[in-house]
Structure 1
Amino acid sequence: MRVASVVFASPLPQLDKEFDYFIPTDLEASIQFGSLVSVPFGKSKTTKTGYVVGIKNESEYGSELASVSSVESSLQLITPEQYELCKAIAKRQAGLVGELLSTAVPKRSVRAEKHFAYSVSKTVNPAQSSRVSRSFVLPGLLDVDQEVHWSTLFAKMAAEHISKGKGVLVVVPDFRDMEVLERAIHSSGLAEKAVRISSEDSLTQRWFAHLRATSGIPLITYGTRGAIFAPSANLGAILVWDDGDDSQIEQSSPYWNTRDVALSRSELEHCDIVFASHSPSAEVARLIEIGYLNYQETQLQTPPVRISETAERLDGETFALISRTLSENQPVLIQVANLGYASAIACLKCKEIRRCSTCQTALWIDPTKTARCRSCKQSYSAQCSCGGSSYRPISVGSKALTDQLSRSFPNATVLHSSGAERVTNIERKGILVIATPGAEPWVEEGYELVVFADSLNMVGLPRLRALENACSKWANALAKCSRTGLAIYVGITGRLADQLRSSKFMEIVREDAVERMEIGLPPASRTLNISSANKNDLSDLRERLQLELPEARLISETAINIAYTYAIATGSETAEKVVRITAELSRASKKRKPGQRVFFVNMDDNKVI
């Protein structure tokens, strides 16, 4: 009998390998790479389902093998390319293949599968081109300039590849970007050639989309973060919009991000790759700097910019401009850095900034007017450790500013938009919108006035990526300005002010990235962050890493985690060592419970510094 290699979509380390099973003669015709099978597992012969990822004539384990019990689906539910990608990313991220299989293959819908099984016809993939293009595209800045809008450019690129019999994979940060892309795809007459991969769709819709993507027909496969693992026949290009957006980072193990998965997939499948954004990430700036990505800039129209050098959030002139714009029945957008009523608070008695007792993060006042830690989400009473029960806001949040401006402009419509309280679009009339970054509503023809009220605070954050992140948030909001609109940055001075007057986000981020690279900080290196619930296990880990990774630089240590920077060139070697060391220490842990994970490893944590 022939042998099937089977893998399980499981987060358990003990299942992170291929298991061999004999294929009964009567099931051979129903099994192919990617088929879903039921197999007996372990001494108890518990039935488990897994994917076939190899068929061979014999096993290194000899004749002591169990047999496949049944075939749950004879369709190819995971492609060889997907499996190779999962293995590559698991290795890079010191993670498990089983964790990634759950992302690569959505939850099954038997109903959708039965309908689909009779509607598919496979095509033969043409040979891949030997030439691969790698680019970063800076699209038109204003959303109203549709000819050079990123979605229009992506639709044109996709159409070109589809016409050559090649598939295209497009990944965007969130549902709003997906809706914009869908409009461009429909406008280009490509709707029938496109398949959407979205976690917001129903189980049946997701499974049908997955099966269509595995059908062997070159399509435009598009969606949010998880779509980067989606199957795509004869993949010709990967297009990524706004790789630096936080939504492009997976928040659970193994903490991959869209950009790095896209780069790995481009190498594995030998296809073109295009990144585009209004302001580049530092990692993309580095890839341009070293010549890995070509830089392409479209013809840009940028709105006029006014710099308010005062530290006052809304000075007299800015306030007057807001009032005048509203009186002319034109929309105004004010971007505020933080949600809630206060982004930080200080005790009136001891004058100290209130901090979380667990992680020392500054407390803020959330939309429910509760003092809360931004990092661990723990809530606190009004009473300080000094005994004081009163506080003052250090910086007013978006909700408080909305309340203030509602009183200042009683005759205007004042709206608040945030991730938790999102307004997606508004009418083009005298409406004042106060929004947190990323939650700015769309308005036809754009805002007549855009005010960046917390510019100084955003670049002044004690974070390595403060300037880079600020540029991204500013550029995306600035894109919603009208052709005749005005933008105002509050509190910015010097060279940065001069660069912002011309909206030179590429130049700003590049200079910042180069400065960081010169001293060995990201993007010249990556940040390894490992957490554990047990301090003894973490202490043992630190000792081992000090011995076996002497070139890594310790940059942060708390009771529950340790963080290091390490060179990009040693990424695979570092990940392999981390996997081996954490596995050995996990087995030796005295606090470990059955099935419990002792260490959580993030090989590229951009939030640490």
Structure 2
Amino acid sequence: MSAALFSTAPRPIARVAVDMSLPHLDRPFDYLVPEKLAEVAQPGVRVRVRFAGQLRDGFILELGEETDGLRSLAPLERVLSPEPVLKPEVARLLRAVADHYAGTFSDVMRLAVPPRHAATEKAEPPELPAPALDPLPGSPFDHYPTGPEFLAALGRGQSPRASWQVVPSHSDAGDWARGLAAAAHATLSSGRGALLIVPHARDLVRLRETCAEMFGEASFVTLSADDGPAARYRAYLAVSRGHVKLVLGTRAAAYAPVHDLGLVALWDDGDDLHSEPRAPYPHAREVLALRAQQAKCATLFAAYHRTCEIELLLERRWLHPLALDARVQRRLAPAVRLAGDSDWALERDPLAQAVRMPRQVFEVIRVGLAAGPVLVQVPRAGYLVVLVCAECREPVRCPHCHGPVRAGSARVSCDWCTRPVTGWRCPVCDHTRWRAPVIGAERTAEELGQAFPGTKVIQSQGDRVVDRIDDAPALVVATPGAEPEADTGYAAAVLLDAEILLTRADLRASEEAHRRWINAVGLVRGGAEGGTVIAVGPTDAVALQALVRGDPGGFASRELADRAAAQVAPAQKMATIEGPLPALAEITDELTNHDSGGLLPETERPRDLEVFGPVELPRPASADEPVGRLTLRTPLDQAGLLTTALSDAVSVRSAKKLPGALRVRVDPVAVS
């Protein structure tokens, strides 16, 4: 028998992250590198391996030598591409994100690295000129006390971390896109790369236009799912190969392999589009914070508002404030007031706090239309969104299928069976008339069109979003997030039905309402140009009062203090688990029963873990058994123990092939 069979000489091996989401197999696996693949089998390349009898794709994380020559290792089947698209620093980030969210490396890897496009990979790369780095004549940071110092630190190659409280106005001080581009300019001048993340495709268009004007066309790339597979992969390759150092994009671009990364920046971290809807549900803000910590690069989180998560980072001094004094901000921003907020206003209009559109609203619209377009923000799309009995407020249901009934501009019909509803009679009080407690954007546009005949009315909502309008006088009725930008800003804005946003059954209702309002305020001309905003809602609401004061920082501080008193996120670490009730009971027992001799050692369980639930949820049509949600809470200093315990518990269930799929969310965006 040949002596080669018993050789103990080291053999080259590749540690491969196999593309599979089974939690108990969330680790690299060793494969022997055949001699014929030794040249192309490098860290970061895509490979195909045999795992459990099946061929699976994966990435080589690192190469090494096997010290135990007696082990039997399967060889790499093939190298799918010699292109190293998974850089070591990105792989470390993926691992950190997976651990932070109690997920798997494979799930995060799918979010970070776009699918291969072979034709694009083999094509000649396009010419990408270096960005023009001419001295800037000025920037929005010039209006802020510490703004020039921040840019100077970036230019010197330092790594400051700041929360930029942007003035909510359509002015130079409120030009967030130019501010992010100026921060990238200073970073690029120091020889480092920059990564700028925005929540929405419309924001990306604005940022791209600003960067093209500042740096020149084609001197940077954008990474967005809307670009299509070929364009996205082409841009990713340009970044991975080091051909560009400035990257703009939406949430998935947070993992872009920028060479010599010097700055990560994020606009509007409170927008729910920054939260990934696929497992393990990472948030772009947390991804960039983890990346900044690992890469020791500068950080800039910018927004008109301030979330509790940013306030917590400020209080811990991980971030430093870059903001104006509240009095200066009120002077630069448009004037904001509430309908019926004084005795004088109530004397003029006694029904100002009772009607949907009091006299002050029409006065603001009339004056605003004389100077330009006027924005009217309505929380709901549609016509008459909900119908109830005019006598007892019982919801109107379809007499045929008992589905919800809504009114359009032409008829009243059922949402489910689409049949027209006629001859309705309340089953509770026998009344025959109904009313609409909530009026949508379409009905609002119709009413305002009648109140201001001859005025152009533009609607922007749902799948009919208008991106931009000119400066001609017009009434723009839009839902939150669908407001078009005006070339020189709106002359005025009206925020209707504020109580609808405030009364949502969500922990973040007040914070989200304030964010949507202040984002609308940011589209209005500054106070020096006569910009004005009026909100219709409860005058004693804290979020509305903060909007009037122009103090998003104070509002965030108070909101965080309230959450700390209530022991909820982000003052406490929270996680939710959804799945079949029997599976939730097993997870609860594993996490809480210290005397059961479970698979999790007591030292690996959070000491102060609180478990709420499970609460039964509406059963999906595909579910064979009741489903529910479990909510977990622990102090922040035990956050690592909670995520580790969750990962281990889910891994044990996966290894045992126990029935019942579970959905784990750490730091859930919505907590109801």
Relative to the length of structure 1, the TM-score reads 0.88
Q: How has the CA–CA distance of structure 1 residues 395 and 199 changed in structure 2, closer, same or farther, with 3 Å as cutoff?
A: same
Native 8 Å contact 2:48 2:58 kept in 1: yes
1:570 partner amino acid? Q
Q: Percent identity?
A: 25
CA deviation map 1:112-143 (0-9, x unaligned): 1112479899xxxxxx9996321101123223
Once the 2 structures are TM-superposed, how far is the Cα of residue 410 of structure 1 from its aligned partner?
4.0
**1:604 alignment partner in structure 2:** 667
* Deviation of 1:476 (Å): 0.9
Residues 62, 458 of structure 1: CA spacing in aligned structure 2 closer, same or farther, 3 A cutoff? Answer: farther
Matched, 1:5 2:15: yes
Partner residue in 2 for 1:358: none
Q: 1:351 aligns with which of 393, 396, 409?
A: 393
Who is 1:535 aligned against?
Answer: 581
> What secondary structure does 2:513 align onto?
helix
Partner of 1:515: 562
2:229 is the counterpart of 1:203:
yes
Structure 1 or 2, whichever has the larger Rg, is: 2
Secondary structure in structure 1 of the residue aligned to 2:634: strand
Relative to structure 1, is the Cα distance of residues 5 and 323 closer, same or farther in structure 2, using a 3 angstrom cutoff? same
Aligned to 1:401: 444
Taking a change above 3 Å as real, the CA distance of residues 343 and 556 of structure 1, as seen in their structure-2 partners, is farther
CA distance in 2, matches of 1:381, 1:464: 37
2:29 equivalent among 19, 23, 32: 19
CA shift, 1:40, in A, is 2.6
Residue 216 to residue 58, structure 1, CA distance change in 2 (3 Å) = farther
Q: How far apart, in 2, do the equivalents of 1:378 and 1:50 lie?
A: 47
Cα distance, 1:258 vs. partner?
0.8
Which secondary structure does the structure 2 equivalent of 1:274 belong to?
strand
Aligned residues of 2:23 and 2:650 also touching (Cα < 8 A): no
For residues 401 and 384 of structure 1, what CA distance do their matches in structure 2 show? Answer: 27
CA contact (8 A) 1:159 1:190 kept: no
User: 1:576 corresponds to which residue?
Assistant: 644
Partner amino acid for 2:334? P
Q: Secondary structure at the match of 1:522?
A: coil
- Report if aligned partners of 1:528, 1:566 keep a CA contact under 8 Å in 2: no
Task: Report the counterpart of residue 28 of structure 1 in structure 2.
Answer: 38
* Cα distance change of structure 1 residues 364 and 544 upon mapping to structure 2, 3 Å threshold: farther
SS in 1 for 2:493: strand
Separation in structure 1 between the aligned mates of residue 34 and residue 123 of structure 2, nearest angstrom: 27
Q: 1 CA distance for matches of 2:425 and 2:306?
A: 42
Specify the code of the residue in structure 2 equivalent to 1:82. V
Letter of the structure 2 residue corresponding to residue 551 of structure 1 = L
Q: Contact (CA 8 Å) 1:37, 1:69: kept in 2 or not?
A: yes
SS at match of 2:668: coil
Deviation of the 1:485 alpha carbon: 1.8
* Runs of at least 5 residues in structure 2 that lack an aligned partner in the other structure: 1-10, 130-154, 341-352, 398-402, 594-604, 618-626
Alignment of 1:109-124 (within 5 A): 109-116=117-124
Structure 1 unaligned spans of 5+ = 122-127, 356-361, 593-597
1:436 aligned onto 2:463: no
Q: Give the match's secondary structure for 1:530.
A: strand
Task: Verify the 8 A CA contact 1:555 1:563 in the aligned structure 2.
Answer: yes
Partner of 1:558: 616
Report the count of equivalent residues: 584
Q: Residue 87 in 1 paired to residue 113 in 2? A: no
2:511 paired residue number: 468
Q: What's the counterpart of residue 111 of structure 2?
A: 103
1:306 and 2:331 aligned: no
Q: Could you tell which deviates more after superposition, 346-355 or 208-217?
A: 346-355
Question: SS where residue 26 of structure 1 aligns?
Answer: helix
What is the CA–CA distance in structure 2 between the aligned matches of 1:139 and 1:420, rounded to whole Å?
Answer: 29
**Corresponding residue for residue 466 of structure 2:** 423
Give the corresponding residue for 2:536: 490
Counterpart Cα distance in 1 of 2:60 and 2:169: 48
Greater mean alpha carbon deviation, residues 210-219 or residues 57-66: 57-66
Q: 2:373 matched to which residue of 1? A: 331
Read off the aligned partner of 1:101 and give its amino acid letter.
Answer: M
Aligned equivalents of 1:88 and 1:59: distance in 2? 28
Alignment partner, residue 78 of structure 1: 86
- Contact kept? 1:167, 1:234, Cα under 8 Å: yes
Q: Which runs of 4+ in 1 moved over 6 A?
A: 117-121, 366-372, 377-385, 387-390
Residue number among 67, 79, 84 corresponding to 2:75 in the alignment: 67
Distance 1:98 1:305 in 2: 48
- Alpha carbons of 1:169 and 1:53: their partners in 2 closer, same or farther (altered >3 Å)? same
- Alpha-carbon distance in structure 2 between the residues aligned to 1:520 and 1:604: 14
Question: What letter matches 1:92 in structure 2?
Answer: H
Aligned residue among 258, 270, 276 for 2:296: 270
Q: How large is the RMSD of aligned CA atoms in angstroms?
A: 3.2
Q: Which residue of 2 aligns with 1:133?
A: 160
Residue identity opposite 2:439 in structure 1: V
Q: Which amino acid aligns with 1:4?
A: A
Worse overlay, 446-455 or 377-386: 377-386
Query: Structure 2 vs 1, CA of residues 519 and 381 (structure 1 numbering), >3 Å: closer, same or farther?
Result: farther
**How far apart are 1:341 and its partner, in Å?**
3.2
Aligned residue type for 2:52 = G
**How has the CA–CA distance of structure 1 residues 371 and 471 changed in structure 2, closer, same or farther, with 3 Å as cutoff?**
farther
1:285 corresponds to which letter in structure 2?
E
Give the TM-score normalised by the residue count of structure 2. 0.80
Range that drifts further, 251-260 or 568-577: 568-577
Choose which of 200, 205, 230 in structure 2 pairs with 1:179.
205
Deviation (angstroms), 1:540: 2.5
SS at 1:317 equivalent: helix
Q: Which deviations, in whole Å up to 9, do the C-alpha atoms of 1:522-569 show, x marking residues without a partner?
A: 22013311111x222223323333436552242772243222333222
Q: 1:363 to 1:224 in 2, by over 3 A?
A: farther
Between the aligned partners of 1:86 and 1:378, the Cα distance in structure 2 is 46
